[in-house]
Structure 1
Amino acid sequence: MKKKIILITGTSRGIGKHILTELRKDPSFVVYGSSRKEDPLDKLHIKLDVTNPESCSRAIQKIIAEQGQIDVLFNNAGSHLTGASEETSLEEIDGQMKLNFYGAVHMIKAVTPVFLEQKSGKIINMSSLGGLLSLPYTSAYNASKFALEGYSEALRLELLPLGIYVSNLEAAYINTGTIDYSIIAPKSNHAMFSKYRIAMHEKMKKDSLKGIPLKTIHKYIQQIINSDKPKFRYKIGKMAKQLTFLNSIVPEGMFQKTVLKTFNIPLKQ
């Protein structure tokens, strides 16, 4: 039986590192990890910068040269910028889009020709609840994940008739085992927003410790890899399922008031 060849982006820590470790326990998988730094102790580690299209192409070419195929791409690399739109510079917004959206697109563009030739393949994107609905102080992050959702949904429809599957994982807070290193703040402050942004930033970091365990993320990824016909959307955890449902049935104004109240942000009377 042929082994499945898998590439994961962003495996230096957090979600990517855990998924890499767990998938490598399966003898039917050959799993490549990747990050911006070299790892000479890991023969299946690739130095990869997802913001660089040439780096992405080289990574795929290396795997094909060594294995003759690639079966699964897991786009995991990303970060979570928290800040009011007014506090967030154009450069920071651009950086968020380059990593979270274009990083995934670069990898998809690099691997799709191989999948088309093979007439098979799976693309798994680490999306987010933030790609389905927006929260205050996460505008740049939401923009990057909404873009990923829209792109992926169209791509799913284009590739599905050819036997290639695109799936998105959509979770809220994920417990990476530490205060979430991927949640970052903008460099500038604004007096009218910084108080609430700082409070929300801290809440998100703490809530991540009570979030979805990494073993749950692994379970879904393993399920997609082993499925003959994986779904497009996998909403993970009660929060993702409940909030998207409420957002679809509750009046817009009521939902917005509820969100602001949740984060202790007063609404002007």
Structure 2
Amino acid sequence: MKKKARNFINKNKYFVKFIYALIVLNIIVLILESYQELNIKYRAFFHLFELFSVTVFTIEYFIRIWVSDITKEDKTERLNFAFSTAGIIDLIAILPFYLPLIFPFDLGIIRILRLFRLLRIFKLGRYSSSLKTIKYIFKETKAELSITIFVTFVLMILSSTLMYHIEHDDQPEKFASIGDAFWWAVATLTTVGYGDVYPVTPWGKLLGGVIALIGIGFVALPTGIISSAFIDKIQSEKQLKKSEEKIKEKNCNCPHCGKNINV
């Protein structure tokens, strides 16, 4: 029974497509609810859809806990699933519905809890091979990305500190503190350039130009790291697929005459 249940929720293509569509529809409904006129007009429908979604996600969550010990008869396996990343995401997907029913939260807290419904989108990672690939890429490049992020953060601190001391006397309202200058550093280093805060002194302009040029390279670094890892992953998957096809073709040949058995 457990094996059938596990195969159904993990391998049944109709169930997987149903959950996939339900998650996407939940995100769409969450967006539509932000429109006041739609929220008032279709409030009953949104509530029924939320009730249906939570019921499905709750049943799925408890089935996954139930079948999590199928490979190893140990009660701790269920706890391991409950505290795993996938288990926590499944739990967070349904908690915003149940918590207000148990605890008397005020309206502000309830609104915050409703935002957690957005985390249901992470449930797609279980069913989407593309999202699994992205997760693998970030895991493989976490060391390189961490170094890049750390160096970028240090550069932002240094540039914002220098810019504060350069521009504070001429623009005390815009560069009132290093924290205010940090916003300028973020906008400049990421090459966004909102234009709300900018240097006016010669030394400030020089520093701003240098930071902007450095930012072009630093923004490209994470992109290059991720792109390289993504290409390597795709190529390895293609090579694996070709190897499997060759093995399959080889197994289809007669061991005596070498002719293809399927022909």
TM-score (norm. length: structure 1): 0.24
The structure carrying a bigger helix percent of its residues is 2
The structure carrying a bigger strand percent of its residues is 1
Q: Which has the higher contact order (CA 8 A, sep 6+)?
A: 1
Query: Which is greater in Rg?
Result: 2
